[in-house]
Amino acid sequence: MATDTGDPLPRFPAGFLWGVSTSAHQIEGAAELRGPSVWDVFTAEPGRVKDGSTAAVACDHYHRYPEDVALLAGLGVNAYRFSVSWPRVASPGGLDFYDRLVDELCAAGVRPVPTLFHWDLPAGLDWLERDTAARFADHVTAVADRLGDRVTKWITLNEPAEHTLLGHALGAHAPGRRLLFDALPVAHHQLLAHGLAVRTLRAAGARDIGIANSHGPTWPASADPDDVAAAGFYDTLLNRLFAEPVLLGAYPDGLGELMPGDVAADLRVIAEPLDWYGVNYYAPTRVGAPLGTRSEFGGLAIPAELPFSIREIEGRALTDFGWPVVPEGLTELLCGFRDRYGDRLPPIVITENGCSYEGLDDQERIAYLDAHLRALHAALEAGVDVRGYFVWSLLDNFEWAEGYARRFGLVHVDHDTLERTPKASYRWFRDVLRAQG
């Protein structure tokens, strides 16, 4: 794999946003102090989470947030991306927690960047229902009313693609449905919720709004036309389905015909102009024609009946999660977006990038982040307007269906004692931020 060359990183522009990301369900715990989410229901079902764990305690960030904000301050980030839990906001006193957190961040000189939905839908709500989008707008109103005097930068949704695909099409995440293409309304209703959230935030005076979508280059397994077509289809599902309604006000390749409701009217809401566009990048995907059997990617089974199969990217180091390490995929992705969307693409912020590795002396993570920052800088030099970079994640946390088995943190968390210990990568990133000034 690419190794940290030891050379200082190139300089990023003045005013660049440097941060780390987390999400509520993955770190907060204190599950008894909020209503249940679809993730609480899902993790209670035997066999759903690999190590049988739940996020009832997670990192106990709910109680230990002052310590975690001190870790952010010690790291020297100027921004922190976290999420507000919708079921907590809807519970008595729930907003008080975010009020305290935002005050603590502001006092530490770290800019709060909340995500308004990161997969923890209140139990009983359902993205197959259109009304969930309207309910989300009410949630956004409540959060903006309470935090909008101190929060100026907002993220509507995290990865509606994964929430649709893993949660509703393949059943690997909450709410555990296996609807395959019948999950498409879930994508539409989340996109509608995004557009309604932008309108709600604007009405509340917000001027700095983005979304965090997951994207990656899609590589055909070969030049065979069937592989190329399958890869094109996968690219439409992962990248274009979630970018184009937002950026262009249109669904790609006739997919709009499969969506529920008055799609043309909804697209006008979905395409509310954004101030910036968030990209979560982990790795490219190599895709080929269906194999007639199920294929696998990072522990995820891709059913045989889908019109594509996921193939191994050969010759690359893998993270503990089995994801290939391909830093230049980030340059390719960003330049590709610039070429595809031209002046319809607002400035980009990398809202997640990171890797799972064990150990406190995590040299692989340092090499991964170093190489990805160089790849990001290459995109800047190629003329892509990138304004920020957030590492996933501050803390080792509850990694969804993988439980606590995957460690993405710059800070190690002992899941028995909840003790935090900064890893080598924490000190490395701190030094990078110091050098960047």
**Catalytically active residues, by annotation:** 159, 352
The pair phi, psi for residue 254, each rounded to 5°, is: 70, 10
In whole angstroms, the minimum distance from the beta carbon of 260 to ligand FCB comes to: 25
| Residue whose CB is less far from ligand FCB, 27 or 263 | 27
The answer to whether residue 400 forms part of the interface with ligand FCB (CB under 6 A) is yes
Residues 249-288 that bind ligand FCB (CB under 6 A): 280
Q: Is 159 in the site for ligand FCB (CB under 6 A)?
A: yes
- Residues 139 and 157: their CA atoms lie apart, in Å, by 12
Give the DSSP per-residue string, 183-242: GHHHHHHHHHHHHHHHHHHHHTT---EEEEEE---EEESSSSHHHHHHHHHHHIIIIIHH
Name the one range near ligand FCB by CB under 6 A: 4-12, 157-165, 290-298, 337-345.
Answer: 157-165
Select from 154-162, 198-206, 333-341, 411-419 the region that touches ligand FCB (CB under 6 A): 154-162
Question: Residue 412 is inside which H or E element, if any?
Answer: strand 411-413
d(C-alpha 280, C-alpha 160), whole Å: 11
Q: How far is the CB of 115 from ligand FCB (least distance, A)?
A: 9
Closer of 97 and 408 to ligand FCB (Cβ): 408
28 counts as binding ligand FCB under rule CB under 6 A: no
Between 24 and 95, CB nearer to ligand FCB? 24
CB within 8 Å of 48: residues ≥ 6 apart: 42, 174, 176, 401
Residue 285: CA atoms inside 13 Å, Cβ hemisphere, count? Answer: 28
Query: Could you count the other beta carbons within 10 Å of the beta carbon of residue 266?
Result: 23
- Tell me which amino acid residue 276 is: W
Number of residues that bind ligand FCB (CB under 6 A): 11
Shortest spacing between CB 131 and ligand FCB, in angstroms? 25
- Give whichever of 214 and 285 is closer to ligand FCB, judged by the CB atom: 214
End-to-end CA distance of the chain: 29
Convert residues 337-356 into a mask of x (bound to ligand FCB by CB under 6 A) and - (unbound).
---------------x----
Interaction mask 377-396, ligand FCB, x per CB under 6 A: ---------------x----
- Decide if residue 214 touches ligand FCB (CB under 6 A): yes
Q: Are 393 and 408 in contact (CB under 8 A)?
A: yes
Farthest-apart Cα atoms in the chain, separation: 58
Percentages helix, strand, coil for the chain, rounded to the nearest 5? 45, 15, 40
Q: Is residue 399 close enough to count as binding ligand FCB by CB under 6 A? A: yes
State the Cα–Cα distance between residues 395 and 4, nearest whole angstrom. 22
CB of 19 to ligand FCB, least distance (A): 14
Q: Which stretch binds ligand FCB (CB under 6 A): 36-44, 155-163, 201-209, 245-253?
A: 155-163
Q: Rule CB under 6 A: which of 114-133 touch ligand FCB?
A: none
24 vs 287, beta carbon nearer ligand FCB = 24
What is the C-alpha to C-alpha distance for residues 131 and 390, in angstroms, rounded to an integer? 32
- 66 or 359: CB nearest ligand FCB: 359
Query: b/e map of 82-119 (b: 16 or more CB within 10 Å)?
Result: bbbbbbbbbbeebbebbeebbebbeebebbbbbbbbbb
Binding to ligand FCB in span 8-27, by CB under 6 A? 23
Nearer to ligand FCB, 159 or 266 (CB): 159
Contact residues: ligand FCB, CB under 6 A: 23, 158-159, 162, 214, 280, 352, 392, 399-400, 408
